Amino acid sequence: MAKSEVKLIGKWSSPYVARVKIALNIKSLEYEIFEENETFNPKSDLLVQSNPVYGKVPVLIHQDKPICESLIIVEYIDDTWSSSPSILPSDSYDRSVARFWAAYIDQKWFPPMQSIITVEREEERKPYFEVMEEVVEKMEEAFVKCSKGKQFFGGDKIGYLDIAFGSFLGWLSVIEHDYERKVLVEEKAPNLVKWAKRFVADPAVKGLIPETERLVKLSKALQIKWRDAIGKT
């Protein structure tokens, strides 16, 4: 497959883009990356043309056809290159469970992280930390059930739910660093703590979860942007 057949519009800091990169790595696919400005100021013409509805990354372009939304892209990659290692579970029930928890993560995990960075006072952050701790509790239980005693949510190898959840580990480290409050702790989530270490060290993931220090610098700029956006609403 020619590298030019697969293009990815993304940002180095985006956990949603990381999902797609991990999936491409699992399938051993070559691709051409187009990096957007971190604050989308301005958005590239390619992004606007490829995702005119939301104007967001990631966008996968395969044979000049754009596919949007990270989890949809991951499924597309799995379906299109089906002869390579599978990402989604083969069992239909297990697939539905993985999709359920992936949707739960997108609804419940990143929004409070963004709110923690956005609000100014410590007391305002408390309810958002509580939501994140609740998610960790639920995901610890989900890991025990989905992994069936193996190393990953997907079993012996990284799968769909591992990608959905693990892509946020870089931004979780920013939250824990900036506000000196650990969310993923062994006392409450021993299986997830061990899973997280295995996940970031996996060959398909290694180097794709941004370093904490680099994300911390970016979070300061995003903090200003998000607060300004709230002020204008």
In a domain, 177, yes or no: yes
In a domain, 73, yes or no: yes
Q: Are residues 100 and 210 in the same domain?
A: yes
Q: Give CA separation, 218 vs 5, 39, 164, 173, 174, in Å.
A: 31, 9, 22, 13, 10
Residue from 94, 32, 103, 111 nearest 70 by CA:
103
Distance CA(185)–CA(196), nearest Å, equals: 11
User: What is the model's pLDDT at position 7?
Assistant: 97
Q: Are residues 52 and 110 in the same domain?
A: no
40: domain range? 3-80
Q: Are residues 99 and 199 in the same domain?
A: yes
Q: Are residues 35 and 97 in the same domain?
A: no
Q: Are residues 163 and 190 in the same domain?
A: yes
Residue whose token pair is 């754009």: 66
Q: Are residues 106 and 188 in the same domain?
A: yes
pLDDT digits (tens, 9 = 90+) for 122-169: 999 999 999 999 999 999 999 999 999 999 999 999 999 999 999 999
CATH number at residue 47: 3.40.30.10
Q: Assign 224 a pLDDT band (cuts: 50, 70, 90).
A: confident
Percentage of the chain beyond pLDDT 90 is: 85
Q: Considering 55, 80, 105, which residue would you say is the last residue of a domain?
A: 80
Number of domains in the chain: 2
Residue from 77, 87, 78 nearest 154 by CA:
87
Q: Are residues 99 and 64 in the same domain?
A: no
User: What is the model's pLDDT at position 84?
Assistant: 80
Q: Assign 38 a pLDDT band (cuts: 50, 70, 90).
A: confident
User: What is the model's pLDDT at position 127?
Assistant: 97
Edge to edge, what strands does the sheet with 59-62 contain? 32-35, 6-10, 59-62, 65-68
Q: Considering 47, 80, 113, which residue would you say is the last residue of a domain?
A: 80
In a domain, 231, yes or no: no
Q: Are residues 140 and 28 in the same domain?
A: no
Rounded to an integer, the average pLDDT of 59-69 is 97
In a domain, 211, yes or no: yes
pLDDT digits (tens, 9 = 90+) for 188-203: 999 999 999 999 999 9
Beta-carbon-side half-sphere exposure of residue 176 (alpha carbons within 13 Å): 13
In a domain, 14, yes or no: yes
Residue 108 has pLDDT above 80, yes or no: yes
The answer to whether the predicted template modeling score (pTM) of the entire model surpasses 0.85 is yes
CATH number at residue 166: 1.20.1050.10
